[in-house]
Structure 1
C-alpha cells in the first residue's frame, strides 16, 4: 500500500511543532549555567555554529589580530581562548553537546562538569563588545584589583598592569586559567579594597567580602 503524502497543512503543523519544541528547549537552556567545552584544533568556529544549530546559547569571544599572509598583512578574527567554546546547557543536554563533531570534552573536575560564573562570562562579553584593543594574556590572579569606572567597560573588575606602552586591565576565567588584557586609561580605574569592619571597641579590621573603591 502506498503511503499517503502529508498535506501542506500537515507539513505546516509538523514544522510548527518542531519550532515550538526548539523554542521551548532554548527557553530551558537560557536558564542553565555556562560551561566550557574543549574542541579539536581550529574547530572553534565550526563547533560554535553546530551548537547554535542545536538550539544552544554559545559564546565564542574573538579578537582582531594582524598576521602576515604571503606578501601582505591580513586582519583576522581569532579566538581569545583557543581550544575552548562556552555554552549554556542542562544536564539533560550534555549528551547532545558531547555528540557535536569537534568537541572532545566538557571542562570540569574528574567526570563532573564545572560551571563558569555568570560574572566572568559577562565580563569577557563586555570586554569584547567594547571595541577597545585587547589580546590574550597569561593567566594572572595577583596584583592590584581594580574596577573600571568610566567608558564602555564601566563596572568590570580585573587586575591592573603597567607595561611599556600603557596600562592594561586583565580579566580572567579562573577555571580555564586563561586571561584577556584590554587597554585602558589610567584615570578610568579605581582600586578595590576590602572594606574594614568596625568592632565594638572601635577598632577597624579587614576581612569583609564587601568592597570599597578608592582612587590611586
Structure 2
C-alpha cells in the first residue's frame, strides 16, 4: 500500500508502527508572523496537535491612565509543537506560520524536560522574565521546591538570585527568582 494510494483513499494519517511512520515525536519550534500566536495555537489545536503556548499576565497603563491586565506571549512569534518531523510540512502550510526553526538544515527541537520546566515555572506564583542577552552563570541543579531536579544556570541580577532554563534554539533564557539554598552546583 503506497502513501499515494493512502491519500487517494482519504487516509492521510500516518500511524505509529506503519511502514510510513518515521522517527519519534519531539518538541519542534514554529516561527510565526507577528501577533498571530493565539490564532495559530487555535488552528493547530483544532487539528489535534499538542501545542505549548506559554503566556504571562502583565499590567499595562494606557495613555488615559487606565490600568488593565493583559495576556502576553512569553516568547513572541514562537510556538512549540509536539509532533513527528514529517508533519512539519503540513504545519508550515497553515495560515500565519512563517517557518519552523532549523539548525544546520534540520528542524530544531527543545527537550521535553525544558518544556516541562517552563510549564512548572509558569505554574508558580512568581514573576517570570525572559532574556535574550544572557550573562553566563554557573550550572546548577535545584534540590528542593517545585522545580526540584531541574538543571539550568544561576545568575545574580540586580541583587537577586535567579535560576534560568536556557532555550538555545531560539536564544531565550527563562528566569525566575530562587533561594540560593535550593540549588547545588552540577
TM range (shorter): 0.7 to 0.9
TM-score by length of 1: 0.70
The counterpart of 1:42, out of the listed 35, 40, 48, is 35
Give the match for residue 155 of structure 1.
Answer: 149
How far did residue 33 of structure 1 move? 0.6
Unaligned 5+ segments in structure 2 are 1-11
The counterpart of 1:54, out of the listed 34, 38, 47, is 47
Please give the alpha-carbon distance, in whole angstroms, between the structure 2 residues aligned to 1:92 and 1:173: 23
Contact 2:161 2:178 in 1 (8 A): yes
Please give the alpha-carbon distance, in whole angstroms, between the structure 2 residues aligned to 1:32 and 1:141: 32
How far did residue 166 of structure 1 move? 2.0
TM-score by length of 2: 0.80
Q: SS in structure 1 opposite 2:141?
A: strand
Give the match for residue 85 of structure 2.
Answer: 91
Q: SS in structure 1 opposite 2:176?
A: strand
State the Cα deviation string for residues 72-112 of structure 1 (Å, max 9, x = none): 22222211111100001223322220111110000003543
Please give the alpha-carbon distance, in whole angstroms, between the structure 1 residues aligned to 2:93 and 2:155: 41
Q: How many residues align?
A: 168
Please give the alpha-carbon distance, in whole angstroms, between the structure 2 residues aligned to 1:186 and 1:109: 35
Stretches of 4+ moved more than 3 A in 1?
A: none
Residues 110, 158 of structure 1: alpha-carbon distance in 2 compared, 3 angstrom cutoff: closer
Give the match for residue 4 of structure 2.
Answer: none
The answer on 1:108 being equivalent to 2:102 is yes
Give the match for residue 203 of structure 1.
Answer: none
Contact 2:135 2:155 in 1 (8 A): no
State the Cα deviation string for residues 154-202 of structure 1 (Å, max 9, x = none): 122221122235221111111111111111122221121xxxxxxxxxx
Residues 156, 91 of structure 1: alpha-carbon distance in 2 compared, 3 angstrom cutoff: closer
Give the match for residue 184 of structure 2.
Answer: 190
- Alignment map for 1:26-37 (pairs within 5 Å): 32-37=25-30
- Alignment map for 1:1-216 (pairs within 5 Å): 32-69=25-62, 70-109=64-103, 111-140=105-134, 142-192=136-186
Report the structure number with the largest CA radius of gyration. Answer: 1
RMSD, aligned α-carbons: 2.4
